[in-house]
């Protein structure tokens, strides 16, 4: 990139976005787009992929067309662009006919720099004729993983986007995604028919996220413990089923934890209202199914809780990716149980891609049940190496997991019991029955089958049933046991025989005990204090209230006014002049003009009252 061109780019970056430097790969991607070359860019959520195409759209002649899968996603991006003074519009079915006419007129008269449309809209003859009648700078395919059968959000209409190269031959095409395996990346390039594309593949790792994975037990108390820890912060709680959402949301509200539910079974108006209230910071916690998806663009989500296992690592990576989009620390908690695997397995039974999906499900189950660095596993899954010896941001690397002292002996006891009950009875049994036998618990079923008389009865009498079940789940997840059939019957695998011979040792973790939980909580408090060391938290809350008020007035999500990173910077610098306010992170020319006086007044009043 020539020096004078780079200076121009940096000037635009500061003028509109209020930034003085780029995040990794942004500058390289912008250079490729300005050079008119087809590109594929993968940047993790929070990596600033939208800026990569929005900035060159302001520099090139003509209008950029952005293909996006969700109306809410389009609206948020367009609202944010307008709030920076950029000529951008959305053209979709949510607009009234007269509003669609207004947008078409703006496009026709060349007054538009970015137009957001859906893949379905692009395939309409009138849309093609409109776009062919005006100068275009380039096409963007956002959330490009939707193109691939191998992807986690496949959409047939995305598969048809190859028509861009037929209808708009000389125009470059740029695919963007946050989550794609190497297989999906190849599929995107092939399906879009990109010509000699330049690829910009960033690290999928999100170092600002801390991952913790725990076995589910009493989910209400497990969730409320976390909500107490994150009081006053924004978060999403994901459930597997709609009924789970309704039940958990109602229970939490009854216990005083204000939240809103969201799932596809609710009517459109209620769903939209709940999403808008969350985006405008009128409520901080959403309980939802994955229907609460890609359109969620609130930047200051500080925690994501999964109350059950998602169906793939891609889904998990994308859903947890909604936390910490502003680059600030955020926390991801996953509660899982063996029943989750079986539930998903039954739901995937009729899928034409069943084998691929089951393989992805198994990978996530391994992630849950096998102790290891969570960041490393996620990076490796997407074909990337993880360079650090320790991430210092997961339960494993933070030494929050207490390892079993004699994992080989414990494993051999459990595997021997599975073998013995099958040998004696001629049939297999589930985890609950095996745990009862090992504990020496004379349940009706144990007595009926005579398992109180076998050698493994009471072999782990000193342990709790919950402990034994926890060990069984880990052995299943690590491939030493497998579940089969309607009754989740346990069977040994070939790997189990190596354990029984002492040739292989599983890695087993103890369940969290109260003392360990308290230690984790204390560490969390200390880390949070360090994070807020130079920031006036009281002023931050006052600024946050002002942001919410402005968002309500303008009818836009709160993050469009300013992100938490900007508010934290204000609460640290405490600018009382326009010159000082201009140095705040994320303050460009348009935001300076629109918001400086309002926020400076808040800060001046705060200081005058002696609160700072």
Domain-terminating residue out of 472, 500, 528: 500
How much is the average pLDDT of 237-258? 97
The answer on 229 and 195 residing in a single domain is no
How much is the average pLDDT of 171-198? 92
State what percent of residues in the chain have pLDDT above 90.
Answer: 72
How distant, in Å, are the alpha carbons of 124, 229, 249, 315 from that of 178? 28, 29, 29, 11
Q: Which of 92-96, 168-172, 229-233, 382-386 has the lowest mean pLDDT?
A: 92-96
Q: Say whether pLDDT at 541 is over 60.
A: yes
Q: What is the pLDDT of residue 280?
A: 87
The answer on 281 and 219 residing in a single domain is yes
| Top-confidence residue, 4 or 568 | 568
Q: Say whether pLDDT at 350 is over 50.
A: yes
Rounded CA-CA distance 278/325 in Å is 15
Q: What is the pLDDT of residue 599?
A: 97
The answer on 219 and 304 residing in a single domain is yes
Q: Say whether pLDDT at 3 is over 60.
A: no
Q: Are 210 and 332 in contact (CB under 8 A)?
A: yes
The answer on 560 and 474 residing in a single domain is no
Q: What is the pLDDT of residue 265?
A: 94
How much is the average pLDDT of 221-239? 95
Q: What is the pLDDT of residue 611?
A: 63
CATH code, domain with 483: 1.10.10.10
Q: What is the pLDDT of residue 157?
A: 82
How much is the average pLDDT of 38-65? 94
The answer on 226 and 184 residing in a single domain is no
Neighbours of 96 (CB within 10 A): 8
Residue 486, both tokens:
């309607």
Q: What is the pLDDT of residue 351?
A: 83
pTM: 0.84
The answer on 123 and 48 residing in a single domain is yes
Q: Are 410 and 468 in contact (CB under 8 A)?
A: no
Number of domains forming the structure of the chain: 4
Closest CA to 374 of 207, 146, 591, 124: 207
Q: Say whether pLDDT at 156 is over 80.
A: no
Mean pLDDT of the chain: 91
Longest pairwise C-alpha distance within the chain? 87
Q: Say whether pLDDT at 515 is over 60.
A: no
Q: What is the pLDDT of residue 345?
A: 85
**Which of the four pLDDT bands, split at 50, 70 and 90, describes residue 2?**
very low
**Which of the four pLDDT bands, split at 50, 70 and 90, describes residue 514?**
low
Domain assignment present for residue 450? The answer is: yes
- Domain of residue 253 covers 209-381
Residue ranges in 370-503 assigned as alpha helix (H): 374-381, 407-425, 431-439, 444-448, 465-477, 494-500
Q: Which of 126-130, 292-296, 539-543 has the lowest mean pLDDT?
A: 292-296
Q: What is the pLDDT of residue 113?
A: 97
Rounded CA-CA distance 587/598 in Å is 13
Q: Are 607 and 574 in contact (CB under 8 A)?
A: yes
Q: Are 311 and 348 in contact (CB under 8 A)?
A: yes
Q: What is the pLDDT of residue 70?
A: 81
Domain assignment present for residue 14? The answer is: yes
Is 510 strand, coil or helix?
Answer: coil
Q: At what angle do helices 374-381 and 354-369 cross, to 10 degrees?
A: 160
pLDDT in tens, 353-370: 888 888 999 899 989 988
The answer on 217 and 197 residing in a single domain is no
How distant, in Å, are the alpha carbons of 30, 59, 88, 141 from that of 55? 8, 7, 12, 16
**Which of the four pLDDT bands, split at 50, 70 and 90, describes residue 176?**
very high
The answer on 142 and 280 residing in a single domain is no
Q: What is the pLDDT of residue 150?
A: 60
Question: Distance between terminal CA atoms of the chain?
Answer: 46
Residue 278, both tokens:
């969350």
Rounded CA-CA distance 49/138 in Å is 16
């Amino acid at each position: 990139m020539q020096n004078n061109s780079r200076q121009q780019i940096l000037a635009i970056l500061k003028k509109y976005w209020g930034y003085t430097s780029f995040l990794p790969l942004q500058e390289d991607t912008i250079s490729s787009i300005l050079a008119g070359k087809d590109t594929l860019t993968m940047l993790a959520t929070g990596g600033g992929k939208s800026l990569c195409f929005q900035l060159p759209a302001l520099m090139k002649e003509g209008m950029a067309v952005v293909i996006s899968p969700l109306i809410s996603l389009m609206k948020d991006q367009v609202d944010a662009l307008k709030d920076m003074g950029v000529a951008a519009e959305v053209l979709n079915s949510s607009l009234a006919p007269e509003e669609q006419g207004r947008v078409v007129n703006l496009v026709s008269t060349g007054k538009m720099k970015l137009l957001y449309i859906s893949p379905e809209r692009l395939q309409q003859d009138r849309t093609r004729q409109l776009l062919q009648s005006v100068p275009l700078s380039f096409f963007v395919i956002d959330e490009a993983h939707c193109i691939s059968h191998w992807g986690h959000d496949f959409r047939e209409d995305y598969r048809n986007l190859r028509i861009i190269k037929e209808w708009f031959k000389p125009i470059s095409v740029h695919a963007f995604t946050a989550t794609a395996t190497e297989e999906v990346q190849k599929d995107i390039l092939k399906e879009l028919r990109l010509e000699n594309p330049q690829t910009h593949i960033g690290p999928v790792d999100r170092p600002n996220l801390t991952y913790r994975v725990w076995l589910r037990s009493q989910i209400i108390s497990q969730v409320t413990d976390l909500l107490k820890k994150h009081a006053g912060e924004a978060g999403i709680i994901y459930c597997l089923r709609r009924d789970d959402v309704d039940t958990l949301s109602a229970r939490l509200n009854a216990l005083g934890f204000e939240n809103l539910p969201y799932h596809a079974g609710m009517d459109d108006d209620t769903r939209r209202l709940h999403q808008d209230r969350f985006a405008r910071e009128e409520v901080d916690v959403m309980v939802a199914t994955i229907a609460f998806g890609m359109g969620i663009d609130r930047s200051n989500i500080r925690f994501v809780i999964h109350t059950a296992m998602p169906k793939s690592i891609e889904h998990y990576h994308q859903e947890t990716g909604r936390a910490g989009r502003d680059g600030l620390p955020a926390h991801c908690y996953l509660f899982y149980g063996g029943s989750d695997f079986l539930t998903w397995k039954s739901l995937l039974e009729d899928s034409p891609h069943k084998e691929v999906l089951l393989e992805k499900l198994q990978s996530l189950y391994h992630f849950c049940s096998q102790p290891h660095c969570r960041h490393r596993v996620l990076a490796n899954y997407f074909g990337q190496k993880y360079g650090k010896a320790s991430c210092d941001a997961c339960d494993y690397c933070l030494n929050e997991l207490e390892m079993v002292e004699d994992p080989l002996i414990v494993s051999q006891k459990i595997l021997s019991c599975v073998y013995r009950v099958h040998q004696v009875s001629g049939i297999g049994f589930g985890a609950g029955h095996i745990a009862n036998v090992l504990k020496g618990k004379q349940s009706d079923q144990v007595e009926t089958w005579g398992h109180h008389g076998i050698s493994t009865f009471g072999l782990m009498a000193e342990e709790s049933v919950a402990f034994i079940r926890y060990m069984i789940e880990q052995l299943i997840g690590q491939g030493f046991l497998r579940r089969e059939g309607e009754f989740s019957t346990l069977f040994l695998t070939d790997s189990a025989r190596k354990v029984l011979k002492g040739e292989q040792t599983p890695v087993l973790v103890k369940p969290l005990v109260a003392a360990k939980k308290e230690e984790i909580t204390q560490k969390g408090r200390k880390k949070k204090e360090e994070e807020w060391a130079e920031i006036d938290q009281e002023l931050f809350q006052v600024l946050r209230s002002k942001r919410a008020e402005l968002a309500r007035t303008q009818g836009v999500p709160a993050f469009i006014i300013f992100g938490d990173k900007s508010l934290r910077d204000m609460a640290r610098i405490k600018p009382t002049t326009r010159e000082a306010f201009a140095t705040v992170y994320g303050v460009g020319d348009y935001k300076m003009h629109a918001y400086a006086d309002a926020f400076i007044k808040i800060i001046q009043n705060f200081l005058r009252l002696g609160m700072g």
